[in-house]
Amino acid sequence: MAWVPYDSFLKKLNTLDDSIDWDDNSSTTVKIALVTSSYTPDRANHDFWDDISANEVSGTNYTAGGNEIANKAVTVSSNTVKVDANDPATWSQSASGFNNARYAILYKDTGTASTSPLVAYADFGSDKGNVDGDFTIQLDTGGIYTLGS
């Protein structure tokens, strides 16, 4: 699953803005939330969770705001920076769950939607859900993203 970074996140990297301290696992909460196909990704103009949250899925075993990811890490090896984390928890099967998740949204949760910066999104290619079985997102083995040569 390929993650597409939001321009606002790339700008923060470019200006060395530390508003997303990725590997501070004690005080930085990063989540993966699920949204429906009614959301249209806009890399250039969407910068905070409140730009997206109205399109979030709902249903049994899904918590509004998404699941926190653990063990966030930034590593550097052979001139390449790798950003990674554990897979988010599985959304367990439920007949009253959701079946309309089209995108996964990665963002830093500050507790306020209008100040929770977006990081990236992933397109599932079709609607997914937990109605017919457990739904799990597997983060790429090469990391969420890499920068470098």
Hey, is 51 helix, strand or coil?
helix
pLDDT digits (tens, 9 = 90+) for 64-108: 999 998 888 877 777 677 778 888 879 999 999 999 999 999 999
At 73 the pLDDT is 80
**Those residues with Cβ within 8 angstroms of residue 16's Cβ, 6 or more apart along the chain or in another chain:** none
More confident residue, 1 or 132: 132
pTM beyond 0.85: the answer is no
* Cβ atoms 122, 60 nearer than 8 A: no
Helix (H) or strand (E) holding 11: helix 7-14
Helix (H) or strand (E) holding 10: helix 7-14
Q: Which letter does DSSP use for residue 89 in this model?
A: P
Helix (H) or strand (E) holding 77: strand 73-77
pLDDT digits (tens, 9 = 90+) for 5-15: 777 766 565 44
The rounded distance, in Å, linking the Cα atoms of 69 and 131 is: 23
